[in-house]
Amino acid sequence: MEKKQHELFELATYAFNKPRSKEREEAFEKLLSFSKPYSYRENGELSSMIIDTSFHVYWKEAKLKMSGIGYVASYPEFRGNGSIRKLMTDILEDNYEAGTALSYLAPFSYQFYGQFGYHYAFDQKAYTIPAQEFPKGKKTAGQVQRRTVSEELFEDMAEVHDQVYNQGSLVRPQHVWEYYFKHKAQPFFATYEENGKILGYLIYEFSDTAFVIRECMTLTQEAQAALYRFVSSHAASFEVIKWTAPSNVFLEYDLAEPSRIQLQLRPYMQARIVNLQAFLKVNGQPEFAARI
């Protein structure tokens, strides 16, 4: 890792209270390979940083350029010096010039980022389910297979992910899959295959007495039933099953006793339009009338 990159890594681990490790450093380096860091210095010393990651998101069956804002950090002795405001302004101006339509971020303060035009846009649903209450699923004609990290695995999961149409969701090329699920975290994987086609996948972790679903995406009811059966087969080994899911997931309707679970709707990300012309080119003009 280059000196400037290492300085950014040191600030990130300090500001977010993360232990330094070789794995975390490699994940950070991977992120920087497809991101642009913005930094602010006082008297030659790094004081603040923001990482702007270039993504695309699905929108009306097209793909829009999106700026992902992350690692907004300052050393404590420099906080309040206006550096974050300057960096945010620089990022938005640069993305406007680049024709970037949208920008997303997961805020520490919705009010703070509201100053820069960001608005509350996405929710998440947090499920905590007693393990024995998770839907049992059923045996189907296909096969669930546990998988290890490989280029082929990410290609298989991408094929499913790309077909689960979700307005505003992230497009994931190979390097994005690798960053989130090879470098940043090392979860377990399972896929559902039927007649030679991958029709669903599961990404999951173990955390003490909890079986944690990171993602569960399926193209058919059979794929969903098979992956539910796979999850429920772990019930004897765990007390609870947790899943922080998109707001359009309705697992509660598949439960025999939904009153026995904990379900929270959590505010999640903020978003804003950066380049209105680029956005309207795909979205189309809004339908409204004005009387003068």
What integer pLDDT is reported at residue 113 of this predicted model? 97
What integer pLDDT is reported at residue 77 of this predicted model? 93
Running along the chain, 292 residues long, what does each successive block of 10 average in pLDDT? Answer: 90 95 95 97 94 96 95 93 96 98 96 97 97 97 97 96 85 96 96 97 98 98 98 98 96 96 97 97 77 63
How far apart CA 77 and CA 83 sit, in angstroms, is 12
Domain 125-267: top CATH class: alpha beta
What integer pLDDT is reported at residue 290 of this predicted model? 56
Q: What does the domain layout of the chain look like in residue ranges?
A: 3-121, 125-267
How far apart CA 274 and CA 28 sit, in angstroms, is 26
Helices 3-15 and 22-32, packing angle to 10 deg: 110
What integer pLDDT is reported at residue 117 of this predicted model? 98
How far apart CA 41 and CA 75 sit, in angstroms, is 11
Q: Which two structure tokens, joined as six digits, stand for 35?
A: 């991101």
The sign of the torsion formed by the CA atoms of 230, 236, 237, 238 equals positive
How far apart CA 130 and CA 211 sit, in angstroms, is 10
- Homologous superfamily, domain 3-121: Gcn5-related N-acetyltransferase (GNAT) (3.40.630.30)
Task: Please list the alpha-helical segments (H only) found in 98-220.
Answer: 110-114, 151-163, 174-178
Cα 239 to Cα 48, 126, 129, 132, distances in angstroms: 42, 16, 9, 8
What integer pLDDT is reported at residue 285 of this predicted model? 81
**Do 3-121 and 125-267 fold alike per CATH?**
yes
Give the strand pairing for 210-218 and 240-246: parallel
What integer pLDDT is reported at residue 289 of this predicted model? 60
| Amino acid in the structure at residue 192 | Y
Q: Which two structure tokens, joined as six digits, stand for 53?
A: 């990651």
What integer pLDDT is reported at residue 2 of this predicted model? 86
